[in-house]
């Protein structure tokens, strides 16, 4: 089961998830100035980061929006990035947040669990209910997994997720349901192949959600640029919450203002190690 593999990777290599939310601006000049295609320039940046951080991170999260923004060349870079990271035995989360009716979700499952974009885990939006999630189930038996959005890290996440639904917030109701859906897919480490996304920008909510989702491994965005701190994360882990903590901008722009050369990935690696230590010192 993929969540066994991911939780073990987090244990052995630390809980950092490197977010490859790559934008053209982030590329150092030596890559921007090369004569390669846009796809190859984006990939060269990501490849250097993967090479520099795969031994000090649990996994990579690749945000597809950054590649969709650049059209077909961007998506070719997305495919190459996911394929390369997996070829290095790293675990990859494709952050796609897809959510659609059953027949359509079946297509997304095919798209992201097979073929050009084949990944290990995807993020999923469950607003449409269980039949928007169940088409992914057949893949959970085949070393694939997903993270369902529960309480997201953004400032407006409360608009709907925090609404009172009879003594509980909507996100709590979603947490309980998703936890039930995941019971069929629990691996040997005790985690379900259906994980949950909860932003560390909402610490008390994460604690509450954990109490409703005991067999759940978390994908925790919001560290760094969005405001989450190592102390808070350390406290979560101390309280028995298990998961990986994503940082994107905070890591992959660590070289900005420092170098425009091919030593850039050393700064990214240093930032990754600093983040790992910032969390681990509280354990």
User: For the window 161-180, what string marks contact with a second copy as x by the rule CB under 8 A?
Assistant: x-xxxx---x--xx--x---
Distance of CA 104 to the CA centre of its chain: 22
Q: Report the DSSP beta bridge partners of residue 164.
A: 169
Q: Report the DSSP beta bridge partners of residue 124.
A: 98, 148
DSSP three-state, residue 134: helix
259 interacts with a second copy by CB under 8 A: no
Of the residues 83, 125, 207, 259, which one makes contact with a second copy according to CB under 8 A:
125
93 interacts with a second copy by CB under 8 A: no
138 interacts with a second copy by CB under 8 A: no
25 interacts with a second copy by CB under 8 A: no
Closest C-alpha among 245, 191, 197 to residue 16: 245
User: What distance in Å separates the CA atoms of residue 82 and residue 73, rounded to the nearest whole number?
Assistant: 14
CB-based contacts of 78, cutoff 8 Å, min separation 6 = 62, 64, 67, 68, 117
For residues 194 and 185, the answer to whether their CB atoms sit within 8 Å is: yes
Q: Which stretch binds a second copy (CB under 8 A): 6-14, 137-145, 159-167, 231-239?
A: 159-167
Select 159 or 188, whichever has its Cβ closest to a second copy. Answer: 159
The residue whose two tokens read 């593999």 is 5
63 interacts with a second copy by CB under 8 A: yes
Phi and psi dihedrals of 87, rounded to 5?
-70, -20
User: For the window 208-237, what string marks contact with a second copy as x by the rule CB under 8 A?
Assistant: ------------------------------
The tokens for 52 are 């520099």
The tokens for 184 are 């069929």
Q: Is 276 in the active site?
A: no
12 interacts with a second copy by CB under 8 A: no
247 interacts with a second copy by CB under 8 A: no
Q: Which stretch binds a second copy (CB under 8 A): 29-37, 44-52, 156-164, 235-243?
A: 156-164
- Contacts with a second copy by CB under 8 A lie at 21, 23, 63, 65-66, 68-72, 74-76, 79, 97-105, 107-108, 110-112, 115-117, 125-132, 149, 152-161, 163-166, 170, 173-174, 177
Q: Which residues are known to be catalytic?
A: 97
């Amino acid at each position: 089961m993929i969540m066994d593999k991911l939780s073990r990777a987090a244990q052995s290599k630390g809980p950092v998830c490197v977010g490859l939310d790559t934008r053209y601006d982030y590329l150092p000049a030596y890559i921007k100035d090369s004569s390669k295609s846009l796809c190859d320039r984006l990939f060269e940046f990501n490849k250097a980061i993967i090479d520099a951080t795969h031994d000090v991170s649990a996994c990579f999260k690749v945000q597809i929006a950054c590649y969709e923004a650049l059209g077909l060349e961007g998506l070719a870079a997305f495919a190459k990035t996911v394929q390369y990271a997996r070829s290095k035995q790293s675990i990859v989360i494709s952050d796609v947040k897809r959510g659609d009716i059953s027949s359509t979700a079946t297509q997304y499952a095919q798209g992201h669990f097979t073929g050009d974009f084949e990944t290990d885990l995807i993020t999923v939006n469950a607003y449409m209910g269980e039949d928007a999630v169940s088409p992914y189930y057949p893949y959970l038996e085949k070393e694939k997994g997903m993270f369902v959005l529960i309480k997201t890290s953004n400032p407006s996440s409360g608009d709907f997720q925090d609404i009172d639904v009879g003594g509980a917030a909507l996100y709590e109701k979603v947490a309980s349901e998703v936890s039930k859906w995941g019971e069929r897919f629990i691996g040997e480490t005790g985690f379900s192949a259906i994980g949950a996304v909860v932003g560390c920008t909402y610490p008390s909510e994460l604690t509450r959600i954990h109490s409703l989702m005991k067999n759940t491994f978390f994908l925790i965005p919001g560290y760094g640029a969005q405001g989450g701190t190592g102390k808070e994360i350390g406290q979560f882990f101390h309280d028995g919450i298990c998961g990986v903590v994503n940082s994107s901008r905070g890591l992959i722009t660590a070289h900005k203002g420092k170098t425009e050369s091919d030593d850039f990935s050393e700064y990214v690696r240093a930032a990754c190690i600093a983040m790992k230590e910032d969390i681990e010192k509280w354990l």
